[in-house]
Amino acid sequence: MSLILIIAIVGMAVAGVVALSLGTALRRSKSQDDDEARVARLGAMKSPTGKPFFADRKAALDLSDEIHDVERGA
């Protein structure tokens, strides 16, 4: 009887860890999607004369990384 109880407790603990891991992965994925959308918006920005603000996608990515670091307080 105690073996069944131990197995049940371990099973519930494993299920909790898996659920927590999935939740963390989903939040991380959403954060990455937000970052990609931010970079796309930054890359599409142009000055009033029509010249792009960023020379290439990497420049927009660098700025997005800097913004992300400031938001995190790094």
Instruction: Using the predicted structure, report yes or no on whether residue 37 has a pLDDT greater than 80.
Output: no
CA atoms within 13 A on the CB side of 34: 9
Task: Using a pLDDT cut of 90, give the percent of the chain over it.
Answer: 0
- Least Cα distance to 54 among 7, 71, 63 occurs for 63
> For the segment 7-21, what is each residue's pLDDT rounded down to a tens digit?
888 888 888 877 777
As a three-state string, the secondary structure of 1-66 is: CHHHHHHHHHHHHHHHHHHHHHHHHHHHHHHHHHHHHHHHHHHHCECCCCCECCCCHHHHHHHHHH
Residue 14 amino acid letter: V
For the chain, the structural domain boundaries read: 2-72
Per-residue confidence (pLDDT) for residue 29, from 0 to 100 = 59
Overall pTM > 0.85? no
> For the segment 49-60, what is each residue's pLDDT rounded down to a tens digit?
888 877 777 887
